[in-house]
Amino acid sequence: MLSATLLDNLSLVAQDIKGNYEPFGGIKLLVFGDYLQLPPISNLWHESTKWAFNSYVWKDLDMKTIELRGDNRHNEKTDFASMLRRLRDGSSIADDFEYLKSLAREVKYTDFIKPVRLNAKKNKVSRYNSYRLSQLDADSVILDSLDTGDAFMLRYCPIKEKIEVKVGSQVMLMRNINERLVNGSVGTLVRFDTNPS
């Protein structure tokens, strides 16, 4: 979701490029989104990030609003679609949670890679990773990170200075290395090379 600041800045850039001081330099826009979804991502320096509709340019846009009401994905499953709508707008009932709990089951994975578990908070990610690591029957190895770049920015880097891994650890890349090894690639540590060349 775009923040108010980003939307205002995009409008200013478009005005400058077009030499036109109407909102977005007179460029026609198609804006869509669901404000019941995740809020805009705040950055390092601004704690409170405002929604796009709180921007200055939003008030100046002569928008025509169209609300999509149909649910084509779940139109045969009306009970399921109703439950999803209640979950979305925060009006869930006890039966919704009971139904969702009834779907829980042990999943057997047939391949080497297990699904990635997403968490919104770094401390939860760290706890879960520690738990998964404790389940592996192998010796731990502590690896030091190799950091390059500006010291100020490194303070906000999501990578720890030291990381504990074991053979069997599932790992995910957090940046692109080459065309094959890209951000989000998942693999399993099969061995350590103590003499990398």
Residue type, position 172, single letter:
M
Q: Quick one: average pLDDT of 16-28?
A: 94
Which range among 16-25, 50-59, 111-120 shows the weakest confidence by mean pLDDT? 111-120
For 57, residues 6+ apart whose C-beta sits below 8 A from its C-beta are 7, 8, 11, 23, 24
User: Mean pLDDT over all residues of the chain?
Assistant: 82
Chain segment 113-137, per-residue pLDDT in tens: 788 888 878 889 889 999 999 999 9
Q: Is 187 helix (H, G, I), strand (E, B) or coil?
A: strand
What residues contact residue 174 under an 8 Å CB cut-off, 6+ apart? 158, 159, 183
* Cα distance between residue 26 and residue 29, in whole Å: 9
The residues that bridge with 172 in the sheet, in sequence order, are 186
Q: Mean pLDDT over residues 24-28, rounded?
A: 93
User: pLDDT (tens digit, 9 = 90+) per residue, 71-100?
Assistant: 666 566 678 888 888 887 888 888 898 988
The predicted pLDDT at position 194 comes to: 67
Q: What local confidence, expressed as pLDDT, does residue 21 receive?
A: 93
| Backbone phi and psi for residue 152, each to the nearest 5 degrees, phi listed first | -60, -45
Domain boundaries, the chain: 4-60, 69-105, 122-188
